[in-house]
Amino acid sequence: MRFDVQVKISLKKGMLNPEASTIQRALALLGYEVEDTDTVEIIKFRLDEEDRNIALKEVDDMCQRLLCNPVIHDYEIEIIEEEK
């Protein structure tokens, strides 16, 4: 089976996010008032695996070992079976 995978990675609450702070200040200078600005990295890819549970375990392992730092990042995994 082939799965479309999307991983959203963001900093955990309480972690300093200079990129988000810069964006928030720049938007304020342009006249836009925003609160709680956050940045999220989205990684998308396709994965061939026997079933959804195995795919989910593999993607979680990828996140833990390579895609993010679990100490400072939160991540959400979305797996959708590709239609034939």
- Measured CA to CA, the distance from residue 20 to residue 47 in angstroms comes to 31
Confidence (pLDDT) at 37: 83
Q: Which two tokens stand for residue 61?
A: 């392992």
Please give the residue range of the domain that contains residue 66.
2-14+40-81
Confidence (pLDDT) at 9: 97
- What DSSP state is assigned to residue 1? -
| pLDDT tens-digit readout, 12-47 | 998 999 999 999 999 999 999 988 888 999 999 999
Q: Please report, for the domain that includes residue 56, its CATH number.
A: 3.30.1280.10
Domains held by the chain: number: 1
Confidence (pLDDT) at 7: 98
Share the mean pLDDT of the chain: 94
CA–chain centroid gap for 81, Å, is 19
Instruction: Record the pTM.
Output: 0.84
Q: Is residue 8 part of a domain?
A: yes
DSSP string covering 31-84, please? T----S---EEEEEEEEE-SSHHHHHHHHHHHIIIII--TTTEEEEEEEEEPP-
| pLDDT tens-digit readout, 54-69 | 999 999 999 999 999 9
Q: Is residue 69 part of a domain?
A: yes
Confidence (pLDDT) at 35: 84
